[in-house]
Structure 1
């Protein structure tokens, strides 16, 4: 019996506990729904608060702008008062001017005869102006015709001017060429004159030397020492030349000699000194350089162009 009671008690307690748990679960679900609703309301409230904050900020900006405009209007208020006063003065002046014009129209209106006389005078002046205008138009047309004629003459004269300029350039070129040739001839003439003066001086020296030698010979005196030395040198050179020719002939006649076809190099020269006779002298060891004939490769080199001398 006691066991049955225990089982019954345990079953009843389990049933009550399950019923309570189900009730608590339902209450918890309701509470969760309320919590979700409260959170959603909070989020909506936050969003509305943000919107309201934006509106408040915008309204504050508008208030600041209005305050700034009010300050500006307060600053411009003295200017407005001055402008209003000036406007009143101008209105008074305008009314005075209107009254003055009305009074002048009433009091100073001329009678009809004077008006007719003034109209006739204006018509006469208008006719005079028209006549002057016609004269000016006639003069303008005449000047235009003359200008066109002068322009045509100038156009025709351009060709003559061009031909004259070309002819002038050709004449200038010819004058330059003639001047250059004349200068070249003058330079050549100067060289010839210098050479003639030199030859005349040499001739005078030779005549003087010849007169000296003749006078010494006429007096029975021997010629000067220089003449004797020159004569001995000439004899010595002739003897040396004869010996050289004889040696060459002997060498050529020898059976072992080699016949040379090369051009003979000069071994003597004629001095151009003023105080020496025009007698050939041997070069000795210091013979002058003789350039050889140009080879065929010189055809690849272009001759230099001689620039004309401009004066």
Structure 2
């Protein structure tokens, strides 16, 4: 009973689905009804046009088949030549053809001659290619040498012009110096002093010599100090030399310097600028 009930339920579900599908198809068909009416109207118009075209084709076929119709053929313009005229025309055409053939033969002959000459020229050019290459290389070498020589000449000309300008300037300076010396000699012969510029230059020379001597003296002094600052171990020092030995004052011993050892006397450093902020100590008298 359960199986039958289950089968009946399945059949019922299938029937419901088929009913829904049919209803959907019906609704779609109802929606397409306006389109169908428009298509029917277009179909009627096209059928009418087709019938008209068919009738027109039949009329044209009847006109084409009818031999008595004057409009069936179309005559060409002009007149037909007679037999004599046709023979004369044929002779003229044959004469023109013979002339054309003669010209064609002449052109063929000229073409053969030109081809033979071009072949000779090609063979000559092929034979002269190597010579042309060597000549081109030589020409390139000569052109390069000419270019180098030209550049050297231009450089020499520029250098010569600079030397000439320098020579002219030096000659001018020499002339000015000679005139100046002549002027100075004339003033000295007359017992007159030289001008202030010369005196200033002379004082400048003396000052330079003096400064040079002072610099040499300072340099020698630095060298001497450097020699004095050389320690026995070969190290230079700028520190002030301190005694590292003392001579005993005992009478029984010889006056031979004796090293201090590890307990060398302490040498205080010089007071700095901050000592002005420190009060000087008051030295109290010593009572014995």
Measured against the shorter chain, the TM-score band is 0.3 to 0.5
TM-score normalized by structure 1?
0.43
Q: Which has the higher helix share?
A: 1
Give the structure, 1 or 2, with the largest relative contact order (CA under 8 Å, sep 6 or more): 1
TM-score normalized by structure 2?
0.45
